[in-house]
Structure 1
């Protein structure tokens, strides 16, 4: 896994995650404060569905 990125919205925040691309165009996500703690992966369709749900406010409280 390479090319980990932290969102520009995370500057100064304490609850940040990093996202990286997988070889099959999916994504991997890990905790910025515990990079050695592992990561989870999503396939490209799973990641696209997740991002679409975020954009439509599905997880808003």
Structure 2
């Protein structure tokens, strides 16, 4: 099995996080509220999961 490692900059992570929020057209707080209430559709949930992973990469909670 081949493993791939990709290095990204903090700026790339932050940029992608902003893109996700813009695509969802909501604030981070609203996105988390909707996720907690199971109000995200399938595509929104996929973007939310990406956002959470990026937030972790950026050193967030």
TM-score by structure 2 length?
0.31
Higher helix share: 2
TM-score by structure 1 length?
0.31
Q: Could you say which structure has the greater relative contact order, defined with CA pairs below 8 angstroms and 6 or more residues apart? A: 2
